[in-house]
């Protein structure tokens, strides 16, 4: 069973800790650029592995796999429409002299929404099991680190000061933890349709990998069959897939053993209690026989 402290800790890793990419950009632009270049395709593999190896499988275990697959498609379409709206809004207002440059607001709002969804994803993972929560956090962090580099760079390019960029991104990153805590508490208090939620989260992960990241890999490797970016995508998928399997084997199995141990102790206590009750009944029966004998002698 997951705890609120686990949710807070890992959501901070998925949100605030992921700002390390942005801080690296402020410290060393060249290193940040190299990190983003190689971390991004790795993140695509991690997101795909988390969706197919863990989330959809857990959705099938928690409820109806058909429903999970349908809502995975709904998630892909919903995030596509959201992105189309943001792009349309930006294009519609970018040449309007009476409206301030909307790019900064769109970056901040988009990052805030993205982090809020990440928090819901992490909480949904921990509502299933600690291992699933850790896998989701790993996938979120691998994607967020290079994304924050891009966000920091865009905001700096738009004229925001370093201090304001840091402040905006820290507040935005805290949305991950806030969303995770709220959704986890709701899941503890009410029955949440986890098959639907996990399906939506899977759609979110698949969309980011297939729509945002993989096209950049194709563009960077037009002259090669398979390059470093493709290799990193495959490595990310294999590594996160293997990590998922291992986490479920060790953590979930450990919880199962603990549960059996607790139930075993309860069973032993129950058996001891039955033995004591049986002994008391036997003693009472012997006392009754002894009283009858005394009465007969009299």
For residue 33, what pLDDT is reported?
Answer: 83
Query: Is 279 a domain residue?
Result: no
Query: Is 276 a domain residue?
Result: no
C-alpha to C-alpha distance for 235 and 239, rounded to whole angstroms: 6
Query: Is 110 a domain residue?
Result: yes
For residue 161, what pLDDT is reported?
Answer: 85
Query: Is 191 a domain residue?
Result: yes
Residue 201: closest CA among 101, 83, 110, 71: 71
Q: What is the mean pLDDT of residues 43-51?
A: 93
The number of domains in the chain is: 1
For residue 261, what pLDDT is reported?
Answer: 46
For residue 263, what pLDDT is reported?
Answer: 43
* Cβ–Cβ < 8 Å for 49, 236: yes
Residue 256 has pLDDT above 80, yes or no: no
Query: Is 291 a domain residue?
Result: no
Query: Is 281 a domain residue?
Result: no
Provide the residue range defining the domain that includes 51.
Answer: 4-259
Q: Which residue bears the tokens 């970018």? A: 94
Give Cβ neighbours of residue 185 (< 8 Å, ≥ 6 apart): 4
Split at pLDDT 50, 70, 90, the class of 231 is: very high
The per-residue pLDDT of the chain, averaged, comes to: 81
Report which of residues 248 and 236 the model is more confident about: 236
Query: Is 223 a domain residue?
Result: yes
Split at pLDDT 50, 70, 90, the class of 259 is: very low
Highest mean pLDDT among 15-19, 54-58, 88-92, 111-115 belongs to 54-58
Query: Is 286 a domain residue?
Result: no
Split at pLDDT 50, 70, 90, the class of 16 is: confident
49-99 pLDDT, tens digit each: 999 999 999 999 989 999 999 999 999 999 899 888 877 766 655 555 554
Residue 222 has pLDDT above 60, yes or no: yes
132-174 pLDDT, tens digit each: 999 999 999 988 888 888 888 888 887 888 888 889 889 988 9
* Class of residue 229 by CB neighbours under 10 A (exposed 0-12, middle 13-18, buried 19+): buried
- Of the ranges 31-35, 47-51, 135-139, 253-257, which one carries the lowest mean pLDDT score? 253-257
Q: Which residue bears the tokens 């949305």? A: 175
Name the maximum alpha-carbon separation found in the chain.
Answer: 117
Per 3-state DSSP, the chain is made up of helix, strand and coil in percentages (nearest 5) of 90, 0, 10
């Amino acid at each position: 069973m997951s705890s609120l402290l686990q949710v807070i800790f890992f959501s901070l890793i998925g949100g605030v800790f992921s700002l390390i990419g942005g801080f690296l950009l402020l410290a060393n632009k060249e290193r940040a650029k190299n990190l983003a270049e190689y971390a991004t395709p790795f993140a695509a593999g991690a997101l795909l592995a988390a969706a197919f190896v863990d989330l959809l499988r857990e959705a099938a275990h928690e409820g109806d796999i058909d429903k999970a697959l349908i809502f995975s498609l709904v998630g892909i379409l919903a995030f596509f429409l959201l992105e189309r709206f943001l792009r349309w809004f930006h294009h519609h207002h970018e040449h309007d002299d009476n409206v301030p440059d909307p790019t900064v607001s769109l970056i901040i709002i988009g990052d805030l929404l993205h982090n809020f969804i990440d928090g819901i994803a992490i909480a949904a993972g921990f509502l299933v099991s600690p291992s699933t929560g850790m896998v989701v956090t790993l996938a979120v962090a691998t994607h967020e680190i290079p994304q924050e580099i891009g966000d920091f760079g865009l905001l700096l390019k738009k004229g925001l000061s370093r201090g304001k960029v840091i402040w905006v991104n820290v507040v935005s990153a805290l949305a991950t933890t806030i969303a995770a805590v709220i959704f986890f508490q709701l899941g503890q208090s009410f029955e949440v349709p986890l098959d639907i939620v996990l399906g939506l989260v899977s759609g979110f992960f698949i969309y980011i990998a297939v729509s945002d990241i993989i096209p950049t890999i194709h563009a960077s490797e037009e002259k090669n069959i398979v390059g470093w970016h493709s290799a990193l995508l495959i490595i990310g998928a294999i590594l996160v897939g293997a990590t998922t399997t291992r986490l479920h084997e060790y953590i979930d199995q450990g919880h199962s053993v603990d549960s059996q141990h607790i139930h075993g102790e309860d069973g032993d206590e129950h058996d001891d209690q039955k033995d004591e009750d049986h002994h008391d009944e036997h003693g009472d029966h012997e006392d009754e026989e002894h009283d009858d004998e005394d009465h007969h002698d009299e």
